[in-house]
């Protein structure tokens, strides 16, 4: 794990004039104001996966002044990533994704502390990372990681912003286990279900789709941190980008869920 700032976060006190100017367009929003901006500065977001979704999520959260971002990804930048992973340029090919992203994010907003985890993380470490964060954004590309992230979030009682994008199809949901009435990811997608794992490497992915889904995840994360508005908790948004049609599906808590159900010992 690496940390770009050894000293404490730069925005621990009241905002100075430069910060008020930098964040003025958020501060001007009646639903945010100075208070929400201060909360962003004091917040810690954990982003799991710095690919097509993690790129725009990290970029928007850094630009918005979320004080600490922890980036988890074991991959290196490949030429095939550049079609949609907009934090990376051609010179970054071969570099660790978390390092290439960290360099770009420091240029976007040097006030943000970026912690990088360039390894695969097991459930135990994920649980520690989730417990230290205020919001977790799942930008991974496989069911095993999504289920592990969900378990960590339920155990830590932290809100999870989930996203997925493949071909022209996108999904976004929030699983907020701070309220035990809310469903978790496992309530929606059981591990026993025989899902065909569909990956960008074999199926293709429409480049702007990851931007749309990632920007929507960033929006939900900022709303949760502010806090402002109504989150997507208990709702799943489905996007067909080919027809440009959105659908919303209600997600119901599974009383027998082995992750968040009443028989799970906390
Ligand atoms: Zn559940």
Is 87:55 a contact under the CB 8 Å cutoff?
yes
**Residue 62 neighbours by CB under 8 Å, 6+ apart:** 69, 105, 108, 109, 112, 114
- Note the pLDDT tens digit of each residue in 136-182: 999 999 999 999 999 999 999 999 999 999 999 999 999 999 999 99
User: How remote is the CA of residue 254 from the centroid of ligand 1, in Å?
Assistant: 6
pLDDT score for 68:
98
User: How remote is the CA of residue 248 from the centroid of ligand 1, in Å?
Assistant: 19
Cα separation, 255 vs 242, in Å, equals 36
Write the secondary structure of 182-218 as one string of H (helix), E (strand) and C (coil): CCCHHHHCCCCCCCCCCCHHHHCECHHHHHHHHHHHH
pLDDT score for 42:
97
Which of the four pLDDT bands, split at 50, 70 and 90, describes residue 3?
confident
User: How remote is the CA of residue 51 from the centroid of ligand 1, in Å?
Assistant: 26
User: How remote is the CA of residue 123 from the centroid of ligand 1, in Å?
Assistant: 17
Is residue 8 predicted with pLDDT exceeding 80? Answer: no
Of residues 12 and 37, the one with the higher pLDDT is: 37
User: How remote is the CA of residue 187 from the centroid of ligand 1, in Å?
Assistant: 4
Q: What percent of the chain has pLDDT over 90?
A: 87
């Amino acid at each position: 794990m690496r940390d770009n700032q050894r000293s404490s976060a730069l925005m621990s006190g009241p905002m100075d004039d430069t910060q008020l100017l930098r964040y003025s367009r958020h501060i001007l929003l009646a639903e945010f104001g100075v208070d929400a901006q201060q909360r962003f500065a004091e917040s810690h977001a954990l982003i799991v996966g710095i690919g097509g979704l993690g790129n725009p999520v990290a970029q928007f959260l850094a630009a918005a002044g979320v004080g600490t971002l922890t980036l988890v990804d074991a991959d290196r930048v490949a030429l095939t990533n550049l079609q949609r992973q907009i934090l990376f340029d051609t010179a970054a090919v071969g570099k660790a994704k978390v390092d290439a992203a960290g360099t770009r994010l420091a240029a976007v907003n040097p006030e943000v502390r970026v912690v990088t985890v360039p390894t695969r993380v097991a459930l135990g470490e994920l649980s520690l990372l989730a417990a230290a964060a205020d919001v977790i954004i799942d930008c991974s590309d496989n069911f095993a990681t999504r289920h592990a992230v969900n378990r960590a979030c339920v155990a830590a009682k932290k809100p999870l912003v989930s996203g997925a994008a493949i071909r022209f199809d996108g999904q976004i949901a929030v699983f907020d286990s701070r309220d035990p009435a809310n469903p978790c990811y496992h309530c929606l997608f059981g591990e026993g279900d025989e899902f065909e794992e569909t990956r960008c490497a074999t199926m293709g992915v429409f480049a702007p789709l990851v931007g749309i889904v990632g920007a929507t995840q960033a929006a939900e994360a900022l709303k949760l941190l502010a806090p402002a508005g109504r989150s997507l908790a208990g709702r799943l948004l489905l996007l067909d980008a080919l027809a440009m049609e959105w659908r919303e599906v209600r997600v119901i808590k599974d009383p027998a869920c082995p992750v968040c159900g009443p028989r799970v010992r906390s």
